[in-house]
């Protein structure tokens, strides 16, 4: 029996009847673009995030792009972000012909390092985009203070972290804007692409809503140049079925993470580093990412045992060919580069069973003992 990295079945199967009802509702009304399902979804998710405005978007990538368009980010502007994220976090900056300025991550959380951000700020800096990697919030309070002091904007890339909290507050409501993804594998995944932008600013919300529909508030009157960044009514209706279950699924993920910790401790696997869980924030475990010496060999061995894993991410953004003209090179961001060689995401989803987790950890233990790997030098 294989153990997939992600199995949506346990979350989806109990909801099939509600999904069908949501589909029928949209089919019957014939309102496929915008309309009441999108508006109700926006109201409901604004409540969950604890934010004034939630704007449903076509994807997390488009939400990031729209956020920067609303800030009028343009050629010559700099936006500081992390080299250790999914491509979209930096891609949105480059698409506006602005300059992504990368700074290294913290060695343990792999989230953006605030001290490095502070050193990278210049008069050209327009915004900072931290990402809450794998579901663990970045240092939002420090980042917000820094951004305020320099009069620059903080955009949270919350695409992997819906439902996470930071010092008691929900992420997505702390930065000036935040973006979420409903890519099917996300903790709140849709049935295709989808995303969200949240903000407490009435002005930014109005701008983003305009940008979402080709820069117009009144049909066929375009005040600015926008795009088609709308979420389908069908996606909104289906996501409304899943939204009330978000907390329960986050609790299930956390329980899985706790169980992995117990199993790793019992197996005496000191060679494997487990994801840190700082006390002042909650981790929603979009991914449970370990760090292992001989990662590629371990991954191959787990694959032979039918255990699904993934490497997020094998090449840091500053080393991607499309960013070659930014002039970064190997060695510029050692923590990000080291992580790229060591990280391995293990199966993690609501419904993952204890016996599946025992098999995963058992297979890692077997690999470590037969291959004689040793503990990597301390990460500092």
What residues make contact with ligand PLP under the rule CB under 6 A? 59-61, 85-86, 88-89, 131, 157, 159-160, 181, 183, 193, 195
How near is the Cβ of 58 to ligand PLP at its closest, in Å? 8
Quote the CA–CA distance of 376 and 271 in Å, as a whole number. 7
Quote the CA–CA distance of 142 and 150 in Å, as a whole number. 13
Nearest to residue 291, comparing CAs of 349, 346, 366? 346
Whichever of 125 and 179 has its CB closer to ligand PLP, that residue is 179
How near is the Cβ of 159 to ligand PLP at its closest, in Å? 3
For residue 300, the Cα-to-chain-centroid distance in whole angstroms is: 26
Give, to the nearest 10 degrees, the angle between helix 202-212 and helix 60-70: 120
For residue 314, the Cα-to-chain-centroid distance in whole angstroms is: 16
β pairing state of 78-81 and 99-102:
parallel
Cα of first residue to Cα of last residue in the chain, in angstroms, is 39
Whichever of 106 and 181 has its CB closer to ligand PLP, that residue is 181
Whichever of 171 and 364 has its CB closer to ligand PLP, that residue is 171
How near is the Cβ of 218 to ligand PLP at its closest, in Å? 29
- Residue nearest ligand PLP by beta-carbon distance: 60
How near is the Cβ of 311 to ligand PLP at its closest, in Å? 14
Whichever of 243 and 267 has its CB closer to ligand PLP, that residue is 243
Whichever of 60 and 293 has its CB closer to ligand PLP, that residue is 60
Whichever of 64 and 272 has its CB closer to ligand PLP, that residue is 64
Quote the CA–CA distance of 351 and 334 in Å, as a whole number. 36
The residue assigned the tokens 């978007």 is 57
How near is the Cβ of 177 to ligand PLP at its closest, in Å? 13
Residue 226 in 3-state DSSP? coil
How near is the Cβ of 270 to ligand PLP at its closest, in Å? 30
Whichever of 22 and 88 has its CB closer to ligand PLP, that residue is 88
In order of 38, 273, 295, 362, the CA distances from 180 in angstroms are 15, 28, 30, 35
Quote the CA–CA distance of 357 and 256 in Å, as a whole number. 8
How near is the Cβ of 194 to ligand PLP at its closest, in Å? 7
Residue 54 in 3-state DSSP? strand
């Amino acid at each position: 029996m294989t153990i997939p990295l992600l199995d949506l079945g346990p979350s989806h199967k109990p909801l099939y009847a509600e999904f069908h009802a949501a589909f029928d509702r949209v089919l019957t009304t014939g309102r496929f673009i915008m309309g009441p399902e999108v508006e109700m979804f926006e109201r409901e998710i604004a409540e969950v995030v604890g934010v004034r405005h939630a704007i449903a978007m076509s994807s997390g990538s488009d939400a990031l792009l729209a956020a920067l368009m609303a800030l009028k980010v343009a050629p010559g502007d700099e936006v500081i972000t992390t080299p250790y994220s999914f491509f979209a976090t930096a891609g949105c900056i480059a698409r506006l012909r602005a300059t992504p300025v990368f700074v290294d991550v913290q060695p343990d959380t792999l989230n953006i390092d605030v001290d490095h951000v502070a050193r990278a700020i210049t008069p050209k800096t327009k915004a900072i985009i931290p990402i809450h990697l794998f579901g663990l919030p970045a240092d939002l309070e420090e980042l917000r203070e820094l951004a305020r002091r320099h009069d620059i904007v903080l955009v949270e890339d919350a695409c992997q972290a819906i439902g996470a909290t930071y010092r008691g507050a929900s992420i997505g409501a702390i930065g000036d804007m935040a973006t979420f993804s409903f890519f099917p594998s996300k903790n709140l995944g849709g049935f295709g692409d989808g995303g969200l932008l949240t903000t407490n600013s009435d002005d930014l919300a109005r701008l983003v809503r305009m940008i979402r529909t080709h820069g117009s508030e009144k049909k066929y009157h375009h005040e600015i140049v926008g795009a088609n960044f709308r979420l389908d009514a069908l996606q909104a209706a289906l996501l409304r079925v899943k939204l009330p279950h978000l907390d329960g699924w986050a609790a299930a993920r956390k329980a899985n993470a706790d169980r992995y910790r117990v199993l790793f401790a019992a197996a005496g696997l000191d060679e494997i580093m487990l994801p840190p869980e700082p006390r002042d924030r909650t981790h929603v475990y979009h991914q449970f990412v370990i760090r292992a010496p001989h990662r590629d060999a371990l991954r191959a061995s787990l694959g032979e045992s039918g255990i699904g894993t993934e490497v997020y991410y094998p090449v840091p953004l500053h080393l991607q060919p499309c960013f070659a003209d930014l002039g970064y090179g190997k060695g510029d961001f050692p923590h990000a580069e080291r992580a790229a060689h060591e990280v391995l995401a293990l199966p993690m989803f609501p419904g993952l069973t204890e016996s599946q987790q025992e098999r995963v950890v058992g297979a890692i233990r077997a690999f470590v003992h037969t291959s004689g790997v040793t503990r990597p030098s301390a990460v500092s």
